[in-house]
Amino acid sequence: MKTRVGGMAAIAGGLLLSTLSLAQATGTAAARPAAVDGARLTAADREPGNWMSTGRTYGEQRYSPLEQVNDKTVGKLGLAWRYPFGLDRVIEATPIVVDGVMYTTSAYSIVHALDARTGKLLWKYDPEVYRGIQASGCCDAANRGVAVWNGKVYVGVYDGRLEALDARTGKRVWSVNTVIDADRNYTITGAPRIVKGKVVIGNGGGEYGVRGYVTAYDADTGAQAWRFFTVPGDPAKGDESDTIAMIRKTWAGDQYWKQGGGGTVWDAMAYDPELDLLYIGVGNGSYWHYGQRSEGKGDNLFLSSVVALRPDTGRYVWHYQTTPGDAWDFTATQHIIVATLPIDGQPRKVVMQAPKNGFFYVLDAATGRLISAEKFVPMVNWAKSVDPATGRPVIDAEAADYWTEGKPKLVFPGSLGAHNWQPMSFSPKTGLVYIPAQSTADIHHPKSRIDAPRKGVWSTGMEIPSVPEDKKSIDEFAAIYTGKLLAWDPVRQKEAWSAPYAQIANGGTLATAGNLVFQGSHDGRLLAYAADSGKLLWERRVSSGVVAAPVTYTVDGEQYVTFSSGWGGSYPIAVGPLSERTRGVPDAQVFTFKLGGSAAMPKVRQRALVPPDPPPATADAATVNAGRELYRNHCGMCHGLGAFSANVIPDLREMSPQTHEDFQAIVAGARAMKGMPPFGAQLKPAEVEQIRAYLIQRAHDRRTELR
C-alpha cells in the first residue's frame, strides 16, 4: 500500500498522499473503500470507529470500546437517519462499517452500500435469486450480512452462490457455486468470514436432507482452497480424509449418508489469530429422528459440535460435541465467542457458546476441553446436567427418547432453541455475556416409516407438528414461548440479571464500553440497558419486529448506533398463531441514531384486525379435514402451521374475494416471481379446492375469535 501510494503521490505532486492519509486518519470514506486486511482485523481495537467484520473482532465479542454514547448520555440518542430497504421481508444482517461506508443486506441476499453518516444509498447489488426459492429452504430467504476484504465485499447468496463485489461500485468481480449436489436443497444464509486471504462459508439445508461442509475460497480469485465435510458421505465413494474415517465410526446403518446426515454450518464461526484456529459451529442431524438416521447408535460426529480447524488447510484440530447423537434439532451453529476469562484465578482463553440445547458452554480455546457447562434457561428436560469429567450430557431418556418406543415426547427446549442465531455479546468490562434467550418446547412425534429424500420437501423423520388452532391451546403455548435478555456470568455460570419479553425471537445484542447493552425486540422496540445492572435506559418504537443485532461506529469522531428492523425468519413462519399477537408489520429499515439526532421517527403502523369477509363455509367436515392435512404438508411451513401466518407471508385467512377467485392459478404458479412457488406438479385442482375449503373455515374461525 505504502509503495503504491508513494508512486502515485509522486505523479500527483504529493496531493493524493495527503488526501489518503487524511481520509484514513479521520475515518471518512477512504479513496479505496473496504481496504480491510488481516492486520487491520487482528488490530480491530485500534480503530474502534469501524465495524470491519460481522462480530467486529475475529473473536466475535460484539463489544465496542466506544463510549461517547454511555449510560449517562444515552437519553439524548435521537434518530440521525433511516433507510427503507424497499422489500419488507426479514432482516438478519449485521452491517459492516468501514471508513464511513455501511455495507448491509436484505432478504434474497441483496447488498446495500450506504453513506454511514447520512444513510444515502451509494450502490445496491441484487444477485437475482429466484423469488420462489424459499420453498427449497427453511426459515425464510434471510441473509446475515457481508464480509469485506481488500476492496471487495463478499456475500453468500441464498441459492448457494458466494460472490465478490467491487466495494466502490457494487459490480460483481467473481461468483462461485458452493453447492456440491444440485439435487439437494442447499442454501446460504450466514455471513462469510475471511481469514488469511480465504473466504470461508457454510450452507443451510439440514431439514431437507443435505451433507454439511464449509469451503474456503481465495478472496482475490474465488479459487477453492479447501473443503471440510462435517459428516461422512457415501462409503462407496471413499473417505475424503483420515478425519472422515475417524468420524464414520460414530455412525450406524446406511440411512445417514443417503439422507445426507446434516451437520450444516449455517451461521457461527470465529477465529483466534494467536492460536491460529478457526472455530465453526455445526448443525443438527438429518434426519432429526436418531433411530432412522443412525439406528439410535453412536455420537454422529460432528453433529451439534464446535470444531476447530487450521484456516490455511482446513485440517481438523479438535471438536467438542454439545449434543451427542442429536435427536432434537439441537444445532451448535449458535454464535461462538472467543475471550479471556479468569478461570480458577488464572487468565484462560476460552470459547463460549449458548447453543439451542439450553446449556452454556465454556471450553478451552486451545484444546476444546470442557471447562464448565450449566443450564442457562430453567426449562431444559432432555439432559439433567453435563458431566464435568467426561464432558458429556446426562441424557434423560424418559423425557426425551422418542425413537426407542416410537412415541411422541414433549421436549424442552424445542427446535427453535433456548437461543437461536441472534448473536449474543460479551463485555470484558462487566465480564457478562448478553444472550437473547428464550423458552421453547416441541412435541417430537416420530414417523414410523422412513421417507426417501425428495428435493424441496421438509424431511426430518418427524410428523409435521399440529400447531393448535383454538384460542385456549394457543394461550397455553404462548405461556411457554417467552423470551428474555439474559446477562450471564460465564465464570460463575449463573444469571447476573435479566429483562423479560412476552415473546421469543428477540434481536441480537451489542455491548459497549459506555456500560450499555443494545437490543431490538420481537414487539418492535429498540432498547438500551445498563450493562451492569439491567436498568432500561432508552427506548424507541418501530413498526416491525427486530431480530438483527445492532452495531455502533464513528464518522468524523461522532458515534452512531444502528438497528435494523425487518420481521420474519423461522419463528413467525412455524409458530404464526403466537407471533401474530404483536400485530407488527414486516417493515424493513435501517435506523441510525446519534446524540442530539433530530430526525423524526416514522409513525408506528400495525396490522389491521378487520379481515375481509370470507366466502360462505359450505364444505363438509371431511373436505375441511382433508384440506387441513394438505395445508400442513404443503403450505404450513411458509404460511404458518395451524394457520396462521404471522405478518410475513400473507395470512390466508385474510384472502380477498379476488384472491379466492384466482386461488387455483396462484397455487399453480401465477405469483412465482412474487415469492409464491408453483405447486401445480404436487397438488391436483381438487386438492387445491380442499385446501381453500379449510382456509375458508379458518377465516370464519378467526372472525369468531375477533368478535
Peptide bond before 302: cis, by omega within 30 degrees of 0?
yes
CA distance 313 to 315: 5
Give yes or no for a contact between 201 and 192, defined as CB atoms under 8 angstroms apart.
yes
Nearest to Ca ion of 462, 467 (CB atom): 462
620 counts as catalytic: no
Count of residues interacting with Ca ion (CB under 5 A):
3
Give yes or no for a contact between 646 and 636, defined as CB atoms under 8 angstroms apart.
no
**Least distance between Ca ion and beta carbon 331 (Å):** 5
| Span near Ca ion by CB under 5 A; candidates 158-166, 267-275, 323-331, 545-553 | 323-331
* H or E element at residue 317: strand 316-321
Judged by CB under 5 A, the chain residues 485 through 514 that form the site for Ca ion are none
| Catalytic residue of the set 71, 159, 299, 329 | 329
Nearest to Ca ion of 58, 266 (CB atom): 266
- The three-state secondary structure class of 270 is strand
Type of residue at 302: F
Nearest to Ca ion of 329, 532 (CB atom): 329
**Among 251, 259, 265, 247, residue whose Cα is nearest residue 288:** 259
**Least distance between Ca ion and beta carbon 264 (Å):** 8
| Span near Ca ion by CB under 5 A; candidates 119-127, 302-310, 327-335, 670-678 | 327-335
CA distance 646 to 649: 7
**Among 504, 558, 567, 497, residue whose Cα is nearest residue 529:** 497
CA distance 572 to 218: 37
Nearest to Ca ion of 554, 570 (CB atom): 570
Nearest to Ca ion of 48, 636 (CB atom): 636
- The residue assigned the cell 444445532 is 331
**Among 79, 107, 114, 113, residue whose Cα is nearest residue 93:** 107
| Span near Ca ion by CB under 5 A; candidates 113-121, 280-288, 527-535, 567-575 | 280-288
- The residue assigned the cell 384486525 is 609
How far CA 621 is from CA of 505, 627, 628, 692, in Å, comes to 35, 10, 10, 13
| Span near Ca ion by CB under 5 A; candidates 322-330, 379-387, 561-569, 663-671 | 322-330
| Span near Ca ion by CB under 5 A; candidates 6-14, 163-171, 321-329, 519-527 | 321-329
Q: Could you give the string, one character per residue 166-205, with x where binding to Ca ion holds by CB under 5 A and - elsewhere?
A: ----------------------------------------
Give yes or no for a contact between 692 and 657, defined as CB atoms under 8 angstroms apart.
no
E strands, 392-464, where?
Answer: 393-395, 409-411, 425-427, 432-438, 442-444
Q: Strand 509-512 and strand 63-64: pairing?
A: parallel
**Least distance between Ca ion and beta carbon 204 (Å):** 8
**Least distance between Ca ion and beta carbon 307 (Å):** 17
Q: Which three cell numbers stand for residue 599?
A: 430526525
Q: Which three cell numbers stand for residue 193?
A: 468470514
**Least distance between Ca ion and beta carbon 206 (Å):** 5
Residue 284 found at the interface with Ca ion (CB under 5 A): yes
Q: Which three cell numbers stand for residue 648?
A: 410475513
* H or E element at residue 346: strand 346-353
**Least distance between Ca ion and beta carbon 637 (Å):** 13
Q: How far apart are the first and last CA of the chain?
A: 69
CA distance 699 to 616: 10
**Least distance between Ca ion and beta carbon 266 (Å):** 8
Nearest to Ca ion of 209, 514 (CB atom): 209
CA distance 578 to 568: 13
| Span near Ca ion by CB under 5 A; candidates 7-15, 281-289, 491-499, 645-653 | 281-289
Give yes or no for a contact between 207 and 459, defined as CB atoms under 8 angstroms apart.
yes
**Least distance between Ca ion and beta carbon 281 (Å):** 12
Q: In whole angstroms, how large is the CA radius of gyration of the chain? A: 25
**Least distance between Ca ion and beta carbon 329 (Å):** 4
Nearest to Ca ion of 60, 326 (CB atom): 326
Cβ-proximal residues to 471 (8 Å cutoff; 6+ apart), any chain: 705
Q: Strand 516-520 and strand 509-512: pairing?
A: antiparallel
Nearest to Ca ion of 328, 376 (CB atom): 328
Nearest to Ca ion of 206, 446 (CB atom): 206
**Least distance between Ca ion and beta carbon 584 (Å):** 25
Nearest to Ca ion of 204, 586 (CB atom): 204
Residue 329 found at the interface with Ca ion (CB under 5 A): yes
* The binder of Ca ion chosen from 95, 206, 263, 584 (CB under 5 A): 206
| Span near Ca ion by CB under 5 A; candidates 277-285, 351-359, 416-424, 453-461 | 277-285
Residue 304 found at the interface with Ca ion (CB under 5 A): no
Query: Which residues does the annotation mark as catalytic?
Result: 329
Q: Which residues bind Ca ion (CB under 5 A)?
A: 206, 284, 329
